[in-house]
Amino acid sequence: MKRRFALAAAVFVLAGPAHAQTRLACGSIEALEVTSLTRTRVTAFLRAVLPDAPPGSKIFFDGKIELANTVLPVGPKVTALVQHTEGRHDVVLLTELELAKVPAELLGRLQAAALDFTFEGNLRSSSSSPPMPVCAVGVLRVGTNQIRASGPVGRDFARFGGARLAGLSLTETQGEATAVLYNPFEFPLDVRDLVYEIRAGDRRVASGERHGVRLHPGRENSIDLPVSAANADLAAALAGAVASGGRAEGRLVAKISVKVGKDQAMTVPLDLPGTIQVGK
């Protein structure tokens, strides 16, 4: 009995290094490029470099894509474009994600400074070809070229409802602006800080800030923004409108800090056109 146990143990020990040597070599995820962002979905290129890939320039990925250790519902099969060079295989996964299907737990796992991506599965040249196991990992830093957009995105998510300045005193004028923010997810978003300015051309007209605002899921959220303006600044920027008690073209320039992860916030800039009403 002891001999049988010793033999089994020896086989296990010898098999261990052989198994480790066959461990899959992972590639690196290099960039995320957003090509379209609407109220319902986002499409993007996830660019990676793999140590190996099947032949062909257009293949298919079957597996899972994770962001912050959360599986993204991108569909059972993803198209992949491949460029083969000596010792290198550049792969682009063409991903599409419905925003309403994003898991709520992702918000608590996100990091404000970087996006932690992984993917693991199989690449195939066709449905009848043998699968090639692949994996890749990458940490993409926010605010760098690692995360980029091919054009303007996100215009459907926010608009400036205008500003009204009417509470006149000796030194300043009080008023209120409105921002309309759309939350496409099935869970609420908590805004930690909302700091904003009302501008006319390159001049600041008024400013203000709000804290602790909740954006309810799956709908537009109208946010009231109290503002104050120094009368000297108001007169310099909107002299004609002040004199006539009329309207002027303006912009809402803001930074929204949305809570993510543990005690972190991801900041989103806004620059939205609208109108400024001065007087009654």
How many residues appear in the chain?
A: 280
Domains identified in the chain, total number: 2
Say whether both 159 and 141 belong to one domain: no
pLDDT average per 10 residues of sequence, the chain (280 residues): 41 40 80 95 96 91 96 88 90 96 96 96 89 96 94 85 82 91 97 95 90 97 94 74 69 96 92 86
The position carrying tokens 């800090």 is 257
Say whether both 31 and 132 belong to one domain: yes
Say whether both 116 and 217 belong to one domain: no
Say whether both 95 and 34 belong to one domain: yes
How distant, in Å, are the alpha carbons of 122, 218, 227 from that of 99?
Answer: 25, 10, 33
Domain endpoint, select from 82, 117, 149: 149
Could you tell me the residue range of the domain that residue 192 belongs to?
155-278
Torsion of CA 20, 21, 23, 27, to 10 degrees: 130
Tokens of 222: 């109208």
The reply to whether 11 falls in a domain is no
Strands 88-98 and 132-141: unpaired
The reply to whether 129 falls in a domain is yes
Q: Bridge partners of 79?
A: 60, 94
Say whether both 79 and 166 belong to one domain: no
Which pTM value belongs to this model? Answer: 0.83
CATH number, domain of 229, equals 2.60.40.10
Q: How far apart are CA 182 and CA 15, in angstroms?
A: 56
The reply to whether 208 falls in a domain is yes
The reply to whether 198 falls in a domain is yes
The reply to whether 9 falls in a domain is no
